[in-house]
């Protein structure tokens, strides 16, 4: 099935992805992993929540860790361009018969809470509290030296339908993988901010969050993180990599936090701002699409994901199989 043409005039204007809320079973253990190992900065915390930002970010947070009985994902957040976009977004989701709730979120003000057609919890806002810049405070750089949140990747039981919906709200396809036999899309990468993706969808039991990615300065920072994790008790949390993707051309590493939430460490993709940029098509049978070089992905990478709060994943009808490491 062909990917849709870019929708250059969506009903509301999404600037970029913004933040994710991870519900965790041991807040102290998660705080240690994200702060001492990955190197995110604490902006606020209490006994139930920890707010974190990366080094180049001026917004109050890109991750919220929430103490909970069950480890899952509370919400994916996106920043809108201006106030009218909030009302336009509410009208759009209401017209689709999707839930609408106006909430006052800490450090974000007026926020629209909703879900996509498959139950992924979403929230949209315009202004997050701005903090002083820290990108030149090099004494604060620790761990993998994360600069900014880069993208979300979700498992989808119907990737073609996910593409169609997110295209409708302005996400543009940069690269995609097609199953040659069925003609259906197995995975797609879609952007708003001008990188390869803000969101991606991969065929599988869904919806679930496959990973959240952070951009780092260089591949050497990934090597430093591997050394750090292997000597601080986290070697078993290294899932896949390092390597380079064919899709996106990015240098990557995948690690798991103490609750099994997957984090990708990511750098070196390319610019996609041109509105007439043509999407790159890959065959599912091409092994270099997922791994240009490096070890093939393990089975866990295709099967494990974080569930969304109050959302029941569904099996995909597309049973095509990519290459899995033995």
318 in a domain, yes or no? no
Q: pLDDT of 116-161, one tens digit each?
A: 999 999 999 999 999 999 999 999 999 999 999 999 999 999 999 9
Name the domain boundary from 92, 109, 131: 131
For residue 59, list its beta bridge partners. 130
138 in a domain, yes or no? no
Tell me the torsion sign for CA atoms 94, 98, 102, 108. Answer: negative
User: Which residues, 6+ apart, have CB-to-CB distance to 256 below 8 Å?
Assistant: 237, 239, 262, 263
Residue 325, pLDDT > 70, answer no
Q: Does one domain contain both 65 and 104?
A: yes
Half-sphere exposure of 32 (CA within 13 A, CB side): 9
* Inter-residue contact 167 to 6 (CB < 8 Å): yes
Q: Does one domain contain both 176 and 87?
A: no
Query: CA-CA distance, 269 to 306, in Å (whole number)?
Result: 25
Query: CA-CA distance, 172 to 166, in Å (whole number)?
Result: 8
225 in a domain, yes or no? yes
DSSP string covering 119-145: --EEEEES-PPB----TT-GGG--TT-
Quote the pTM value.
0.97
* Inter-residue contact 279 to 44 (CB < 8 Å): no
Question: Residue holding tokens 């890109």?
Answer: 62
DSSP string covering 246-267: SGGG-EEEEEE-TT--EEEEEE
Which phi and psi (to 5°) does residue 116 adopt?
Answer: -80, 175
Share of the chain above pLDDT 90, in %: 93
Average pLDDT, the chain: 96
Q: pLDDT of 103-120, one tens digit each?
A: 989 999 999 999 999 999
Q: Look at phi and psi of residue 180 and say left if phi exceeds 0, alpha if psi is from -120 to 50, else beta.
A: alpha
pLDDT at 249: 96
Tell me the torsion sign for CA atoms 313, 187, 120, 216. Answer: positive
Mean pLDDT to the nearest integer, 170-190? 95
Query: CA-CA distance, 22 to 306, in Å (whole number)?
Result: 9
* Number of domains making up the chain: 2
Residue 306, pLDDT > 60, answer yes
258 in a domain, yes or no? yes
Q: pLDDT of 269-304, one tens digit each?
A: 999 999 999 999 999 989 899 899 999 899 999 999
263 in a domain, yes or no? yes
Question: Residue holding tokens 């041991």?
Answer: 26
Name the domain boundary from 99, 131, 163: 131
Q: Does one domain contain both 82 and 202?
A: no
Name the domain boundary from 131, 162, 194: 131
Question: Residue holding tokens 């099967």?
Answer: 303
Mean pLDDT to the nearest integer, 72-98? 98
Q: Does one domain contain both 157 and 65?
A: no
In this structure, how many other beta carbons lie within 10 angstroms of the beta carbon of residue 320? 16
3 in a domain, yes or no? no
pLDDT at 2: 77
Q: pLDDT of 22-51, one tens digit each?
A: 999 999 999 999 999 999 999 999 999 999
CATH number, domain containing residue 258: 3.10.180.10
* Inter-residue contact 109 to 102 (CB < 8 Å): no
* Inter-residue contact 15 to 70 (CB < 8 Å): no
Range of the domain at 127: 14-131
Strands of the 109-115 sheet, one edge to the other: 41-45, 49-53, 63-67, 14-24, 72-80, 121-125, 109-115, 101-105
Instruction: Let me know how many helices (H) and strands (E) the chain has, helices first.
Output: 5, 18
pLDDT at 89: 98
Mean pLDDT to the nearest integer, 184-211? 97
5 in a domain, yes or no? no
* Inter-residue contact 91 to 84 (CB < 8 Å): no
**3-state class of 212 per DSSP?**
strand
Mean pLDDT to the nearest integer, 78-101? 98
């Amino acid at each position: 099935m062909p990917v849709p043409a870019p929708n250059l005039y969506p009903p509301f204007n999404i600037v970029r992805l913004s933040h994710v809320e991870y519900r965790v079973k041991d807040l102290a253990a998660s705080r240690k992993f994200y702060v001492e190992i990955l190197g995110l900065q604490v902006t606020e915390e209490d006994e139930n929540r920890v707010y974190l930002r990366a080094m180049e970010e001026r917004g109050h947070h890109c991750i919220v860790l929430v103490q909970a009985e069950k480890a899952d994902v509370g919400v994916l957040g996106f920043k809108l361009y201006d106030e009218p976009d909030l009302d336009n977004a509410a009208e759009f989701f209401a017209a689709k018969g999707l839930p609408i709730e106006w909430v006052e979120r800490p450090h974000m003000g007026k926020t629209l809470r909703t879900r996509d057609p498959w139950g992924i919890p979403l929230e949209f806002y315009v202004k997050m509290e701005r903090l002083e810049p820290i990108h030149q405070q090099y004494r604060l750089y620790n761990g993998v030296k994360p600069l900014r949140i880069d993208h979300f990747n979700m498992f989808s039981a119907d990737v073609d339908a996910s593409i169609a919906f997110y295209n409708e709200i302005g996400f543009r396809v940069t690269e995609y993988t097609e199953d040659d036999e069925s003609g259906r899309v197995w995975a797609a990468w879609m952007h708003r901010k001008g990188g390869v993706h803000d969101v991606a969808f991969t065929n599988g039991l869904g919806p679930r969050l496959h990973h959240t990615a952070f951009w780092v300065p260089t591949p050497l920072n990934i090597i430093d993180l591997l050394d750090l994790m292997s000597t601080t008790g986290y070697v078993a949390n290294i899932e896949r990599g390092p390597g380079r993707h064919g899709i996106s051309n990015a240098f990557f590493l995948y690690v798991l936090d103490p609750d099994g939430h997957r984090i990708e460490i990511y750098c070196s993709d390319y610019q996609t701002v041109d509105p007439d940029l043509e999407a790159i098509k890959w065959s599912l049978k091409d092994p270099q699409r997922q791994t240009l070089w490096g070890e093939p992905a393990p089975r866990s990478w295709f099967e494990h994901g974080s569930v969304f709060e109050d959302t029941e994943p569904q099996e995909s009808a597309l049973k095509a199989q990519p290459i899995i490491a033995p």
